[in-house]
């Protein structure tokens, strides 16, 4: 069987490009793989659940692609099951380009980045736009009560395929929580040294007084 992402992306023109640039034989292995990679495993579920942002691509009726950044607190993107993920669509600049595209063409492509560990996951799916009056219980599952943002709708994505990318050319970047975690041992060590220094100064002052 072929990996699901190769069935979606390896069009005749893509295969022609692979042949032109000498990678057709290498890429053909994706068309005879043992797994399709259209059902998320625990690894993908955990990775997605830890993201605080991702990039999404949609296509308009005129064929123009549109890439948009989506962000929120860690966990705002929900894994509903092995074939379904979703998120609360927060109020933005009111242009509605992505959601408008999705109302005409339900296909979407997502890119999840872990810059600190130089990992990235690509995902293809089909979208269902959910409003509160349509399915309030589902929308409630997507909400993030601790995040102060107005939820306008829910975006529910049925996973069609996914693929992990190699780390090549990913420049490491770190979020504030990641930086804080890396610096925590140094901060603790500095605090300990300051405490010892203060104690030594105090003892030295006591000796002088005596």
Q: Is the pLDDT of residue 199 over 60?
A: yes
Section 53-82 average pLDDT:
95
pTM for this predicted structure: 0.85
pLDDT above 70: residue 210: no
Can you tell me the mean pLDDT for 89-105? 92
- Segments making up each domain of the chain, as ranges: 1-36, 37-172, 174-210
SS3 117: coil
Quick one: the chain helix, strand, coil %, rounded to 5? 40, 30, 30
The architecture that CATH gives domain 37-172 is: Roll (2.30)
In the prediction, which pLDDT does 165 show?
Answer: 87
Q: What pLDDT does residue 207 have?
A: 62
The pLDDT of residue 196: 87
Q: Mean pLDDT over residues 88-117, rounded?
A: 94
């Amino acid at each position: 069987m072929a990996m699901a992402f190769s069935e979606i992306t390896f069009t005749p023109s893509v295969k022609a490009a692979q042949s032109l640039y000498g990678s057709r034989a290498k890429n053909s292995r994706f068309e005879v793989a043992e797994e399709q990679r259209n059902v998320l495993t625990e690894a993908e579920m955990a990775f997605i659940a830890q993201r605080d942002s991702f990039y999404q691509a949609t296509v308009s009726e005129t064929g123009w692609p549109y890439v948009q950044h989506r962000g929120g607190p860690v966990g705002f993107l929900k894994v509903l099951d092995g074939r379904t993920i979703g998120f609360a669509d927060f109020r933005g600049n009111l242009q509605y380009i992505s959601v408008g595209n999705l109302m005409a063409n339900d296909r979407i492509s997502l890119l999840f980045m872990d810059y600190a560990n130089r990992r990235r996951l690509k995902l293809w799916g089909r979208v269902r736009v959910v409003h509160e009056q349509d399915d309030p219980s589902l929308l409630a599952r997507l909400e993030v009560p601790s995040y102060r943002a107005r939820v306008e709708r829910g975006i529910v994505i049925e996973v069609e395929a996914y693929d992990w990318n190699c780390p090549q050319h990913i420049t490491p970047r770190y979020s504030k929580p990641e930086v804080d975690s890396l610096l925590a041992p140094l901060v603790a060590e500095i605090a300990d040294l300051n405490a010892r220094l203060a104690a030594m100064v105090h003892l030295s002052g006591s000796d002088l007084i005596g």
